[in-house]
């Protein structure tokens, strides 16, 4: 989260940014007109922005055909050349950060300063995997009994299906496209129907960076299951990488099982945010602001259950309420705005239902607690105290700017509450005790832990969860391995 002011954007600049984005299907290096289109709206006003291609199964099949046709040649391209393409794409993104950020803000709603931060973050995935492309290695060893040698090679897994969410439309694109390109894989990417423009703009940048035709293909559609199912079931597709909800992820895993397709799944979260009585409350509040308010709370890593030890709960809630209550709300293009709109009316309704459920169960609204009375899909920053563990928001992602505070007494109780969920993406721990910090971090059932920090996402670190929060890792040294097959070659000597 950032509160950096941004220059006022004019309506003309908004129109120019939207007009700069290709709106067709990107297949085999060409922009193609689709048989149908779908609308993209501005969530801060509800107004129509533009129409983009709405692919049908036949058009999507053409994209997969292009990826398959390009695979063999792309796999033979020198790692350095693949690396340099990613480096050029990264440089082009950073040089065009203002336009790319404005496109993202208009289609998704996040404040412009935060959108600029996402463009920079997204570009870092290209830089990281540009560096990884030239470091793909294997192995050599003598057989334990002698008489032969073992060679281990890493090879591209093959054509990939990449499916990205609406909440981080550019960073989730580069986090999947980057390792695919670096590993020598071709792909078809399908962005979320709510935010296709960022991905289309990204494809245009890859063209400028010199990416060969067919290596990355983009299919936008409102008919996700009808369009994606045939591609996933096609035995030529060798991997699927998906970021989104757990129910959809389970459905995709069932489809992938039909052909035993490689999978990477970054699914839902229910992050506990633990504040112990020995925590530095200034650090804890700052961490809560980052973990709760990043992307207006619309993040799988968002602090969903804020668990605070009883002796400091009242003071923590007071400080957090002051900070959240001071956040300006409005369109993401307006000066100083921190709380932008949610993605659509359905999102507002879900947040409101969860808040009303908590209030009905005895929680208190210290701040906010009801949808905003204005155009667009806004829900004000909200702080709830005394939220019972059995409230619906204790088991469902809030995905909005609502901080739900529950008190606990002992370390054992905190760990039990934190782990009482089928999800295990990320947990946060705030304490000044090194022994407690390590002890609790190790006891938490999560793929990632933020110890005295509210943001852990980094292209150089492995991102992913356990239990129903996912399969595999993105980023870090392991991220590229998700796009590589290991081949063993036995040699008689």
Instruction: Tally Cβ neighbours within 10 Å of residue 343.
Output: 26
CA 404 from chain centre, in angstroms, equals: 22
- Write out the two tokens for 167: 């909440």
Residue from 483, 492, 296, 324 nearest 398 by CA = 296
Residue from 391, 55, 371 nearest 199 by CA = 55
- Write out the two tokens for 338: 């921190």
CA distance 233 to 64: 12
Q: 460: burial class by Cβ within 10 Å (0-12, 13-18, 19+)?
A: middle
- Write out the two tokens for 492: 């008689």
Q: Which among 124, 194, 266, 397 is annotated as catalytic? A: 266
CA distance 192 to 166: 5
CA distance 129 to 179: 6
**Residue 411 among the catalytic residues:** no
Which residues are marked as active site?
266
């Amino acid at each position: 989260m950032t509160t950096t002011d941004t220059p006022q954007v004019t309506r003309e600049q908004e129109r120019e940014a939207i007009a700069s984005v290709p709106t067709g299907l990107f297949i085999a290096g060409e922009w193609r007109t689709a048989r149908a289109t779908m609308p993209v709206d501005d969530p801060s006003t509800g107004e129509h922005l533009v129409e983009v291609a709405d692919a049908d199964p036949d058009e999507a099949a053409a994209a997969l055909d292009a990826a398959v046709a390009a695979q063999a040649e792309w796999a033979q391209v020198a790692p350095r050349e693949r690396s340099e393409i990613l480096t050029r794409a990264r440089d082009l993104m950073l040089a065009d950060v203002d336009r790319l950020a404005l496109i993202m803000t208009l289609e998704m709603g996040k404040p412009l300063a935060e959108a600029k931060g996402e463009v920079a973050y997204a570009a870092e995935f290209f830089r990281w995997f540009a560096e990884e492309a030239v470091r793909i290695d294997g192995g050599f060893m003598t057989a334990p009994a002698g008489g032969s040698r073992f060679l281990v090679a890493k090879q591209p897994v093959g054509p990939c299906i990449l499916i990205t969410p609406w909440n981080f439309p550019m960073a989730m694109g580069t986090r999947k496209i980057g390792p695919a390109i670096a590993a020598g894989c071709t792909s078809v990417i399908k962005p979320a129907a709510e935010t296709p423009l960022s991905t289309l703009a990204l494809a245009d940048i890859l063209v400028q960076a010199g990416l060969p035709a067919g290596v990355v293909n983009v299919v936008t559609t409102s008919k996700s299951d009808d369009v994606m199912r045939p591609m996933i079931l096609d035995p030529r597709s060798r991997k699927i990488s998906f970021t989104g909800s757990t129910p959809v992820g389970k459905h995709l895993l069932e489809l992938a099982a039909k052909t035993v397709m490689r999978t990477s799944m970054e699914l839902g979260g229910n992050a506990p945010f633990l504040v112990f009585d020995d925590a530095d409350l200034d650090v804890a509040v700052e961490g809560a602001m980052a973990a709760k308010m990043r992307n207006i709370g619309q993040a799988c890593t968002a602090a969903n259950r804020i668990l605070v030890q009883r002796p400091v709960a009242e003071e923590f809630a007071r400080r957090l309420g002051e900070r959240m209550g001071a956040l300006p709300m409005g369109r993401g293009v307006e000066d100083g705005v921190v709380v932008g709109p949610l993605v659509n009316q359905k999102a507002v309704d879900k947040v409101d239902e969860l808040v009303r459920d908590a209030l009905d169960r005895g929680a208190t609204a210290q701040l906010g607690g009801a949808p905003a009375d204005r155009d667009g899909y806004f829900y004000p920053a909200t702080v709830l105290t005394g939220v019972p563990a059995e409230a619906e928001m204790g088991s469902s992602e809030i995905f909005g700017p609502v901080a739900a505070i529950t008190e606990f007494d002992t370390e054992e109780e905190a760990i039990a509450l934190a782990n009482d969920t089928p999800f295990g993406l990320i947990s946060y721990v705030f304490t000044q005790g090194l022994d407690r910090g390590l002890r609790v971090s190790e006891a938490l059932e999560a793929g990632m832990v933020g110890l005295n920090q509210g943001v852990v996402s980094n292209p150089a670190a492995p991102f992913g969860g356990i239990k129903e929060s996912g399969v595999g890792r993105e980023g870090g040294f392991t991220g590229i391995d998700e796009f590589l097959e290991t081949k063993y070659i036995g040699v008689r000597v």
